[in-house]
Amino acid sequence: MDLPEPVSAAVVAPAQRPEPVSAPAQPAYAARFDAVGLTYSSRGKSTDALNGFSLDVRSGERVAVVGPSGCGKSSLLALTAALVAPTTGDVVVDEAVALMPQRDLLVPWRSALRNAALALEAQGVPKSEAARRAAPLFERFGLESFENSRTWELSGGMRQRVAFLRTVLTGRPLLALDEPFGALDSITRAQMQEWLLGALADDPRTLLLVTHDVEEALTLADRVVIVTPRPGRVAAEILVHRPRRTSRTDWVTSLEFAGLKAEALEALA
User: Rounded to an integer, what distance in angstroms lies between the CA atom of residue 254 and that of residue 246?
Assistant: 10
Q: What is the pLDDT of residue 19?
A: 53
Q: What is the pLDDT of residue 266?
A: 94
Nearest Cα to Cα of residue 94 among 34, 174, 175: 174
User: Rounded to an integer, what distance in angstroms lies between the CA atom of residue 13 and that of residue 224?
Assistant: 58
pLDDT tier, 22 (very low <50, low <70, confident <90, very high otherwise) = low
Of 53-57, 79-83, 141-145, 264-268, the poorest mean pLDDT is in 141-145
Q: How far is CA 115 from CA 38, 136, 163, in A?
A: 33, 14, 8
CATH topology of domain 29-96+173-268: Rossmann fold (3.40.50)
Q: What is the pLDDT of residue 20?
A: 52
User: Rounded to an integer, what distance in angstroms lies between the CA atom of residue 166 and that of residue 160?
Assistant: 10
Q: What is the pLDDT of residue 43?
A: 82
Query: Whole-prediction pTM value?
Result: 0.83
Q: What is the pLDDT of residue 61?
A: 95
Tell me the H-state helices in the chain.
73-80, 112-121, 127-134, 137-140, 156-168, 186-202, 214-220, 248-252, 255-268
Q: How far is CA 30 from CA 24, 124, 218, in A?
A: 19, 25, 21
Q: What is the pLDDT of residue 153?
A: 94
Q: What tens digit of pLDDT does each residue of 118-149 get?
A: 999 999 999 999 999 999 999 888 899 999 99
Residue range 231-242: mean pLDDT, rounded: 94
Q: What is the percent of the chain where pLDDT is above 70? A: 90
